[in-house]
């Protein structure tokens, strides 16, 4: 937007001053109350809506949305489910083939967001800066995963479930077994059918 400049030969009048101030306040208010993005994850067991905290986890949210917008998560599964802990997915398909990911991202676990029940966080390897596409939803308070409670870096929380907690509960209770070199794998695959950024009247209020 071009800044309004008074004429060199005519001073800025009070009505214009009030208008400029009001317009500036309106823009500020809109920015201050911009809604956090929401993503609907449609699974074979129901839909989960995540609200992402782009203020406290900007790198992680940007990375997650790039996967969402690219359609990466369609056809992936929740491949690790531990009742009393978490449900993890977003990296491999129903044939247990890992998908090619984007480069790893910087760990943001010191952002103050705790691994509380129904929050979503990034899965990673031992290297703190190794998260790519896989994420998990905490099904209980897992504060031992927080940076403040670990000798190494924690696990980055970047959002929370705002709809579909009952779906999370159904997934966490599914029957699991060990297969394909993995532990705690749902016997009946829990498939992510789509992951979509919500807009307009689709956003959960």
DSSP bridge partners of 160 = 51, 119
Could you report the per-residue pLDDT of 160-205, keeping only the tens digit for each?
999 999 999 999 999 999 999 999 999 999 999 999 999 999 999 9
Average pLDDT, the chain: 88
Secondary element (H or E) of residue 142: none
| Secondary structure (DSSP) of 150-187 | -SS----EEEEEEE-HHHHHHHHTS-EEEETTEEEEES
pLDDT for 19 equals 45
pLDDT for 92 equals 97
Distances (CA, A) of 70 to 18, 48, 103: 45, 19, 15
Instruction: Tell me which residue has tokens 């993995």.
Output: 182
For the chain, give every domain's residue range: 38-200
- Tell me how far apart the alpha carbons of residues 90 and 73 are, in angstroms, rounded to a whole number: 6
Does position 52 have pLDDT exceeding 90, yes or no? Answer: yes
pLDDT for 148 equals 96
Is 38-200 a CATH 2.40.100.10 domain?
yes
Could you report the per-residue pLDDT of 60-109, keeping only the tens digit for each?
999 999 999 999 999 999 999 999 999 999 999 999 999 999 999 999 99
Give residue 35's pLDDT band: very low, low, confident or very high (50, 70, 90).
confident
Give residue 20's pLDDT band: very low, low, confident or very high (50, 70, 90).
very low
Does position 6 have pLDDT exceeding 70, yes or no? Answer: no
Q: List % helix, strand, coil for the chain (3-state, nearest 5).
A: 25, 30, 45
DSSP bridge partners of 135 = 89, 122
Could you report the per-residue pLDDT of 115-163, keeping only the tens digit for each?
999 999 999 999 999 999 999 999 999 999 999 999 989 999 999 999 9
pTM above 0.85, yes or no: no
């Amino acid at each position: 937007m071009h800044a309004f400049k008074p004429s060199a030969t005519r001073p800025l009048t009070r009505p214009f001053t009030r208008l400029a101030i009001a317009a500036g306040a309106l823009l500020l208010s809109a920015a201050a109350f911009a809604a956090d993005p929401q993503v609907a994850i449609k699974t074979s067991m129901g839909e989960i809506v995540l609200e992402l905290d782009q203020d406290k986890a900007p790198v992680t949210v940007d990375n997650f949305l790039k996967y969402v917008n690219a359609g990466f998560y369609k056809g992936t599964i929740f491949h690790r489910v531990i009742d009393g802990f978490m449900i993890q997915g977003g990296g491999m398909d129903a044939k247990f083939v890992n998908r090619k990911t984007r480069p790893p991202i910087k760990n943001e676990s010191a952002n103050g967001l705790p691994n509380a029940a129904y929050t979503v966080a990034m899965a990673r390897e031992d290297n703190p800066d190794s998260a790519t596409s896989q994420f998990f939803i905490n099904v209980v308070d897992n504060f031992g995963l927080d940076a403040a409670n670990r000798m190494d870096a924690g696990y980055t929380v970047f959002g929370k479930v705002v709809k579909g907690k009952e779906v999370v509960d159904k997934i966490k209770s599914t029957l699991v077994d060990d297969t394909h070199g993995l532990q705690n794998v749902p016997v009946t695959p829990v498939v992510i059918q789509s992951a979509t950024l919500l807009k307009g009247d689709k956003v959960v209020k």
